[in-house]
Amino acid sequence: MRSSDPQQRPVDSGTVTAVLKRIIAENGREHIWGYVVAIGCLVLVALSTAFTAWIMRSIIDEAFANRRADVVWIICLAIFIAFVVRGFASYGQAVALSKIGNNIVARYQSRLYVHLMTLSVGYFNEARSARIAAQVSQNVGGIRDVLNLTITSTARDLLTFVALLGVMVYQDPLLSLAVLILAPPLLLALRYLSKRLRQATKEAIDLNSHVLGAMQETIQGISIVKAFTMEGQLEEKVNKIIVAAEGRANKIARLSERNAPMTESFAGFAVASVLAYAAYRSIYQNVPPGAFFSFVTALLLAYDPARRLAKLQVQMERAAVNARMIYELLDMEPRQRDLPDAKPLVVTEARIELRHVAFAYGNDNVLDGVDMVAEGGKTTALVGPSGAGKSTIINLIPRFYDPKAGQILIDGQDIAHVTKKSLREQLAYVSQQPYLFEGSIRDNIRYGRPDASDAEIEEAARLAYAHDFIVAQPEGYDTPVGENGVTLSGGQRQRLSIARALVRNAPILLLDEATSALDTESEAAVQKALDEAMTGRTVVVIAHRLSTVVRADKIVVMQQGRVVEEGNHETLAKRSDGLYARLNNLQRPAASETF
């Protein structure tokens, strides 16, 4: 018994700290020396900034109070050197962190793509393609941002703030204490904002994926949109989603930037209070101005790192939301793992047998105790009304899905106990809807077997009756096909997909209404090619046209998820009360009609 339960959803990655620990564990060792360089540069930035504030006392006292020109020149040279060091250190940390960040994004995109290839067909049928694309292209930056924010905030902003705070305490402990007393209420307010921002960011990502999905659907179905004058309906639908996404983005902007008036008000009050206090001491207590200027310089220079630290939690929440969505995808368990005892499939006769197979999409039962055999080296046709379960059987043989009950055997080997790779290497598959990938015609045929030579590719194209139209293209076999073969007709795309299956030279051939996209002339040509390709192979074919079915060695008639008749065309057509006979009689007036 095997389950077709949904993919197991991962446990939420939790707090920002949990996300940060995981990111560091996965990337820290890989980039340790790059981070050492970046941190070293950031330390120099912090120390040079603190040095500028500290030396202000000497400048004021020596230049304006003591009037010592010799000391002033030395101080000015030291300030110049400090700024040069700060400039080069800023450049070094920016380049180092950018290089590391770009590598992290590239590695996670590659990792996501590899992981997506392990997930089952069922997952992609359930998930929105636009959401997956958004996760791969947009959210992956969250991993980089979490690390970069951590490094820059710790090594630059926090160290700069602490160093400047030290200067402030050294110059005037009482004023420093007053400033620190005012900080906790501000931090509490920022923490509240970050919690609200977390949920708003997640909602915004979901809405943006819906916008992308709606646009993608419109582009892919533009012919239907125009044929049924659906422009107005779709515009209204998409505009509603866009307005909702805009509103959510505006909410994020309000929450993200709400810290600005709080921090600016805090800074204004602190600076005004310090100036008032310093002026009072200078006027009434005759205190030298050097310490005051040094304190004020340190306070003003501390404002920028303090402001960035105040926004840190808000920024970290946004980055962590993106990172968590990436980990949701990476932590998703594949529905169909190879079993521990799985062995490579060994094909001898290529005989396919279904024993008591049952299957359901969710709660909708599609197959109910199906028993059938496709003999090795022969053609078995599946016929029956729409919804009978024919395509489901085709999908179960390569293990796109696993049955709820029963077994599928190839040469006596249960395919649940063989590796999926070895199983699919023995299959060639032509789907009802032909799909071509970006690249040339030659590339698309070669996907059937990567080591195929150009001669083998051209031979497969000839067998599929595609060679003539290929050489008529501007660049022959090297002609780009465009997005999903948009530059070719439906019949041409189907013949290329058949050529891709033929070049694979597999012992089992699965045809899911492979000639459905062809006109009568093309179908006749391809049928000849398929007759040759079927020789010596086990073929399971779904065909609605009588011309395809009559050539089959065996016909399996299905209805409501069950096998109701078996035999060849002659025997089944003679059963006056049989389903196949009724379908056959319906087709007699026009051979192009379908079952």
Q: What DSSP line would sit under 410-473, residue for residue? A: ETTEEGGGB-HHHHHHTEEEE-SS----SSBHHHHHHTT-TT--HHHHHHHHHHTT-HHHHHTS
* 571 located within any domain: yes
What mean pLDDT, rounded, does the chain reach?
79
Please say whether the beta carbons of 262 and 186 come within 8 A. yes
* 341 located within any domain: no
Question: What is the CATH classification number for the domain harbouring 154?
Answer: 1.20.1560.10
* 337 located within any domain: no
Three-state DSSP string of 176-221? HHHHHHHHHHHHHHHHHHHHHHHHHHHHHHHHHHHHHHHHHHHHHC
Judge if 414 and 469 occupy the same domain. no
Residue in 562, 581, 561 with CA at minimum distance from that of residue 571: 581
Tens of pLDDT, residue by residue over 385-410, are 888 889 899 989 999 888 999 999 99
Judge if 240 and 359 occupy the same domain. no
Look at 196-200, 235-239, 556-560 and tell me which has the smallest mean pLDDT: 196-200
Judge if 487 and 520 occupy the same domain. no
Amino acid letter for position 236: E
Judge if 255 and 400 occupy the same domain. no
pLDDT of residue 228: 61
* 342 located within any domain: no
Judge if 454 and 412 occupy the same domain. no
* 335 located within any domain: no
Domains contained in the chain, number: 3
Choice between 14 and 29, residue whose per-residue pLDDT is larger:
29
Judge if 211 and 307 occupy the same domain. yes
Q: pTM to 2 decimals?
A: 0.68
Share of the chain above pLDDT 70, in %: 76
Write out the residue range of the structural domain in which residue 484 sits: 438-496
Judge if 151 and 238 occupy the same domain. yes
What is the distance between the alpha carbons of residues 468 and 476, in angstroms, rounded to a whole number?
10
Judge if 417 and 445 occupy the same domain. no
Judge if 314 and 278 occupy the same domain. yes
Report the pLDDT averaged over residues 38-65.
80
Residue 5 has pLDDT above 60, yes or no: no
What is the distance between the alpha carbons of residues 163 and 52, in angstroms, rounded to a whole number?
11
Tens of pLDDT, residue by residue over 176-189, are 776 677 666 666 66
pLDDT of residue 82: 87
Residue 13 has pLDDT above 50, yes or no: no
Residue 594: DSSP 8-state: B
* 338 located within any domain: no
Q: What angle do CA 222, 223, 228 make, to 5 degrees?
A: 100
* 1 located within any domain: no
Judge if 447 and 325 occupy the same domain. no
Amino acid letter for position 378: K
Q: What DSSP line would sit under 502-564, residue for residue? A: HHH--SEEEEESTTTTS-HHHHHHHHHHHHHHHTTSEEEEE--BHHHHTT-SEEEEEETTEEE
pLDDT of residue 205: 66
Residue 358's φ and ψ, nearest 5 degrees, are -125, 145
User: Where among 298, 330, 362 does a domain terminate?
Assistant: 330
Q: pLDDT-derived band of residue 191, with 50, 70 and 90 as boundaries?
A: low
What is the distance between the alpha carbons of residues 46 and 163, in angstroms, rounded to a whole number?
7
Residue 404: DSSP 8-state: S
Q: pLDDT-derived band of residue 590, with 50, 70 and 90 as boundaries?
A: very low
Residue 347 has pLDDT above 80, yes or no: yes
Q: pLDDT-derived band of residue 1, with 50, 70 and 90 as boundaries?
A: very low
* 433 located within any domain: no
Question: What is the CATH classification number for the domain harbouring 382?
Answer: 3.40.50.300
What is the distance between the alpha carbons of residues 80 and 72, in angstroms, rounded to a whole number?
12
Share of the chain above pLDDT 90, in %: 16
pLDDT of residue 195: 65
pLDDT of residue 306: 76
User: Where among 451, 474, 496 does a domain terminate?
Assistant: 496
pLDDT of residue 359: 93
Residue 565: DSSP 8-state: E
